[in-house]
Every structure is written in structure tokens, then in C-alpha cells.
Amino acid sequence: MGRQPCCDKLGVKKGPWTAEEDRKLVNFILTHGQCCWRAVPKLAGLRRCGKSCRLRWTNYLRPDLKRGLLNEAEERLVIDLHATLGNRWSKIAARLPGRTDNEIKNHWNTHIKKKLIRMGIDPVTHKPLQEQANEQVSSKPNEQAKFEVSNHKTPIYPCDGSSDNFSSPIIESSSTGKSPPFDPNISNFDDPWTNHIRWETFLENPSSWNFMFEGDRQEGYGEFGLCPPAGGDPSWLFNRESSGVESFSRSSFGDIDMSEFTRSTNIRS
């Protein structure tokens, strides 16, 4: 037999929470802490599903939540993270203290999406809409089309805080007519840090990428879309399919110390 059902579907209340229900839930959580959500409605005296209680607490009642609209810096961070992570709202929310995945998702759909479209940027691919239209017009063999999707560059948004609206993204190079972006022999990345790494050294010297498996770092990389296979081939990083990232840069490695890595790979400049 499996577990018992999360709640009795009959007699469960739906719809907006009342102040009284909020008070009961907050009192219960503050007194007993977060435990088995299934048990919460009964113990707290609520006619709600445990799932509904969890959602209400995590999205609205948690005392560490920030209220109000996302500020400009938070918005920029959301856009940057979305370019790397896509619609993985919980991962994005994990990088914004006091914000919930639901809140960020709502803000994206109601504000940021429209703002990007007004700026001529596709909110899904983060590419200029014009560039995308051109790509669709020119018919290409499937493999080439697939490559060009993976070859798109994450726009770089100016962070001078000078404007309420963002400037158009700076696309540092065209995505067409180039070898795959992760080809270490070309090292023609848009990100200066990435471009200055001697990737051939990285591939030839397995110890230079051991830093990826120290401590709990691997989990951290997952947050940025990087999922290195333990003991595998370092060239995994250059393969979008296996690494799971559209494009990577210094920020793809989070805020860890990369000095040993850059030293061992003879970083240029």
C-alpha cells in the first residue's frame, strides 16, 4: 500500500483565503514549524487541502517574503537568469532572496515579457525579434537550423541603472556563419573571460577541471544549468546537448573561486 491521500476532497474549501484562515495557518506554522502538510489543515483547524496550505504559506504568508514589485536590479537578474535557465522559476527564485517562484513567474508574464517585446526582444529566446524573423525566412537543413538555435548569444543588459527601460541588448557578434560556439579550437566566445581561456589546455589537462567535483559544487552548477558528468570527458562542456546550457560565461560557474582553473588553463591576459 502507498501513502494515505493528501486530503479529503469532500468538504475542502477553495478560492481566496480569508484573514481568519491566514491567522490560523500562520499561528500553526509559527508554533509547530513546517511539518507534514497533509496534517496541517486538520491540526490547524482549516478546511483546506494540505497542498493549498503549503502554497499559501510559501507564496504569501512566509515572514521572510519581500512585498511589492521587483526592483530594477531584481528584474535584470530575472532576465539574465531566464536567458540561462528558461522557465525554471523555482531555480530563478532561489537566486532572489525573499521572492517566490510564483511571484517571479507572474511578474515575468505581466511586466517583463511585454517590456522585452516592446524592446524588440523575443522573451523566449532572448534574441532580437528581427534576427529571428530572418532566420525563419531562410530555409535551412534541419541540422544547421538546430545548431543556430544553440549558437544564440545571451544578450548583455547594461546595468548602469540610468533608465527605467532597458536599452536594447548588446549582441556582441552575429550568430551566423560560424563554427559551433563551444569549439575550443576557435575560442570565439562573446564573453571576454570565456574567450581568454585556453580551452585546448582544458581538454588536454584533466586535472584542470577537477575543481568541478570538489565538495557540493556540482549541485551549484546545476543551478546555472551546468551538469558535469563525474569522471567524464571535459569536452562535455562544449556540447550544448550534454551540458544543458545555451551559452556559458564566467557567471555560469557562479561565485566560486576560479583562480586555480584559470591559472591551470593559462588564461590569456
Partner DNA sequence: AAGGATGACAACCGCCTTATA
Partner DNA sequence: CTATAAGGCGGTTGTCATCCT
Task: List residues near DNA by CB under 7 A.
Answer: 1-7, 13-17, 36-38, 50-52, 54-56, 59-60, 68-69, 87-91, 101-103, 105-107, 109-111, 114
Measured from the CB atom, the residue of 7 and 96 that comes closer to DNA is 7
Measured from the CB atom, the residue of 67 and 231 that comes closer to DNA is 67
* β-pair partners for 170: 156
Measured from the CB atom, the residue of 25 and 203 that comes closer to DNA is 25
Cell of 166: 532597458
Shortest CB 34 distance to DNA, Å: 8
- Using left for φ > 0, alpha for ψ between -120 and 50, and beta otherwise, residue 16 falls in beta
Measured from the CB atom, the residue of 23 and 140 that comes closer to DNA is 23
CA angle, residues 98, 102, 108, in degrees to nearest 5: 100
Shortest CB 120 distance to DNA, Å: 18
Shortest CB 127 distance to DNA, Å: 18
- The 8 Å CB, 24+ separation contacts for 237-245 are 237/182, 237/202, 237/209, 238/180, 238/182, 238/183, 238/184, 238/199, 239/182, 240/150, 240/182, 243/182, 245/84
Distance CA 19, CA 203 (A): 60
Measured from the CB atom, the residue of 16 and 63 that comes closer to DNA is 16
